[in-house]
Amino acid sequence: VQHQVVNALGLGRNIDEALRMLEALQHLEKNGEVCPANWHEGQKGMKPDQGGLKDWFKDK
């Protein structure tokens, strides 16, 4: 299990968020890059180290 979400019965579900998580996991497996918060397919990921984090924030 790479990601799990449990919602209370009275809360709505968001299929777009579930698909975004799947795309992020696929991006990680394919490219070795992690996906920052609010990442979407086609956006730049970042290397999972301090240098990758610095590079990602430098572009913001």
In a domain, 26, yes or no: yes
Predicted pLDDT of residue 32: 94
Predicted pLDDT of residue 18: 92
Give the number of domains in the chain.
1
In a domain, 5, yes or no: no
Range of the domain at 28: 15-58
Predicted pLDDT of residue 57: 86
Q: Are the C-beta atoms of 46 and 34 separated by less than 8 Å?
A: yes
In a domain, 2, yes or no: no
Predicted pLDDT of residue 56: 86
pLDDT in tens, 25-55: 999 999 999 998 899 999 989 999 999 989 8
**Backbone CA torsion sign across 22, 33, 2, 26:** positive
In a domain, 37, yes or no: yes
